Amino acid sequence: MSAAPLVTPRSVVTVEAAVSYWRRLLPLLTVLACVTRVPSFVPPLWNPDEGYLAVQARLLAHGGQLYQTVVDRKPPLVPWLYQGAFALCGSHSLTCVRVLAVLAQLLTAAMLASLARRRWGDRAGRTAGVLYLLVSVGLNPEDAQAAGFEVFILPCTAAAMWCADRRRWATAGAAVACAFLTKQTGGAVLLPVLWLCGTARPALLRLATWAALPVLGAALLTDPAGFVFWTVTGSAAYATSTGSELHVLGRGLVNTAILAAACAGLLPPVVRALRSARTGAADLWLWLAASAGAVLLGFHFFGHYYLQLIPPLALLATCGLQHLPRDRVPAAVLTSSCCCALFLAWGLLAPRPELAHARRLAAAVAHRTGPTDRVLLWGMHPETYWLADRTPASRYLTAGLLTNFSGGRDGPQVGEKYAVPGTWPVFRAELADRPPSLIVDDSRGCPYGPDRIPGLRHLLAAGYEEAGRVDGAVLYRRSSGR
> What is the spatial distance between Cα 194 and Cα 171, in angstroms, rounded to a whole number?
13
19-32 per-position pLDDT tens digit = 899 999 999 999 99
In whole angstroms, what separates CA 48 from the centre of its chain?
A: 12
Contact at 8 Å (CB) between 248 and 299? yes
List the single range of 5-9, 268-272, 277-281, 446-450 with lowest mean pLDDT.
Answer: 5-9
> What is the spatial distance between Cα 356 and Cα 333, in angstroms, rounded to a whole number?
36
Question: Where does residue 277 rank: exposed (0-12), middle (13-18), buried (19+ CB within 10 A)?
Answer: exposed
Q: What three-state secondary structure class fits 95?
A: helix
> What is the spatial distance between Cα 178 and Cα 155, in angstroms, rounded to a whole number?
10
Q: Which of 402, 465, 464, 461 is nearest to 428 (CA)?
A: 402
Average per-residue pLDDT for the chain: 91
- Assess whether pLDDT exceeds 80 at residue 260: yes
Interior angle at CA 346, CA 146 and CA 405, nearest 5: 50
Percent share of the chain, pLDDT over 90: 80
CA distances from 81 to 62, 78, 171, 178 (A): 15, 5, 21, 12
Q: Which of 341, 258, 267 is nearest to 302 (CA)?
A: 258
> What is the spatial distance between Cα 114 and Cα 97, in angstroms, rounded to a whole number?
26
Question: Phi, psi (5° rounding) for residue 393?
Answer: -80, -10
> What is the spatial distance between Cα 153 and Cα 159, in angstroms, rounded to a whole number?
10
Question: Where does residue 192 rank: exposed (0-12), middle (13-18), buried (19+ CB within 10 A)?
Answer: buried
For residues 92-105, average pLDDT: 97
Return the DSSP state at 379: S
Q: Which of 260, 68, 298, 98 is nearest to 183 (CA)?
A: 298
397-455 per-position pLDDT tens digit = 999 999 988 766 666 788 999 899 999 999 999 999 999 999 999 999 899 999 999 99
pLDDT value, residue 243: 60
> What is the spatial distance between Cα 380 and Cα 49, in angstroms, rounded to a whole number?
10
Helical packing angle, 77-89 and 48-61, nearest 10°: 70
Q: What three-state secondary structure class fits 478?
A: strand
CA distances from 312 to 8, 81, 163, 364 (A): 37, 25, 15, 46
Question: Where does residue 287 rank: exposed (0-12), middle (13-18), buried (19+ CB within 10 A)?
Answer: buried
Helical packing angle, 190-197 and 282-296, nearest 10°: 150
Q: Which of 115, 481, 66, 95 is nearest to 284 (CA)?
A: 115
CA distances from 349 to 43, 90, 146, 335 (A): 11, 28, 16, 21
Contact at 8 Å (CB) between 314 and 266? yes
pLDDT value, residue 325: 84
In whole angstroms, what separates CA 82 from the centre of its chain?
A: 13
pLDDT value, residue 481: 58
pLDDT value, residue 15: 78
For residues 177-191, average pLDDT: 97
- Assess whether pLDDT exceeds 70 at residue 1: no
| Length of the chain (residues) | 482
pTM of this prediction? Answer: 0.93
- Assess whether pLDDT exceeds 80 at residue 5: no
